[in-house]
Structure 1
Amino acid sequence: MTTVTVQVPDSVLPSLHLDPAGFVREMRLAAAIKWYELRRVSQENAAGIAGVSRADFITALSQAQVSPFQLNEAELCEELHELC
């Protein structure tokens, strides 16, 4: 596993009411959600980035109002049409 060090201003953690571990958890989850939303990572990889189960990641997507589906309606119709 790779370790990454991130420096943030001293005022950030108190303003978010987080300790360093809480900040890391939230940052990992936020990054995973955004990268999933941008279709840069799969749901499984995003859950791994966030350090949570896939089920918990889907719950986090719902709380962030991000669809757990990466296909839009047109893409889904195309996929279904190809199956028939």
Structure 2
Amino acid sequence: MDSLHHKLDSTEPFELTEEMRVAAAAKWYELGKISQEKAAEIAGLNREEFMLTLSRLQVSPFQYTVQEIEEELRDAH
């Protein structure tokens, strides 16, 4: 059986963990399981950074339900 070995440098485990957290948050947001605000929090980003990340991952930042739009409008006033 062939195998692949890769030695991780000291920063790779942290970077991998961070990338997995961002990817999971983006996917859960895309599936409508969590709000954009919660996804940004999970990803460790502010909402602007999270929206830019969604663009990079080719995920639409507009996954709002009618209820979420109403809440956003209510909170804005």
Do these two structures clear the TM 0.5 threshold for a shared fold by scoring above it?
yes
Deviation at 1:70, TM superposition (A): 1.0
* 1:26-45 alignment runs, 5 A limit: 26-45=19-38
Aligned to 1:31, what secondary structure does the other structure show? helix
Task: Give 2:20's aligned amino acid.
Answer: M
Equivalents in 2 of 1:68, 1:13: separation in Å? 36
| Pick aligned residue for 2:15 from 11, 22, 41 | 22
Deviations 1:2-59 (A, max 9, x none): xxxxxxxxx5785xxx611101110000000000000000000000110111100000
The gaps in structure 1 that reach 5 residues or longer are 1-10, 80-84
Output the CA distance in 1 between the equivalents of 2:64 and 2:24: 20
From the superposition, tell whether residues 65 and 30 of structure 1 become closer, same or farther in structure 2 (CA, over 3 Å): same
Give the alignment partner of residue 63 of structure 1, picking from 49, 56, 59: 56
Within 2, Cα distance between the matches of 1:55 and 1:49? Answer: 14
Q: What are structure 2's unaligned runs of at least 5 residues?
A: 71-77
Contact 1:36 1:42 in 2 (8 A): yes
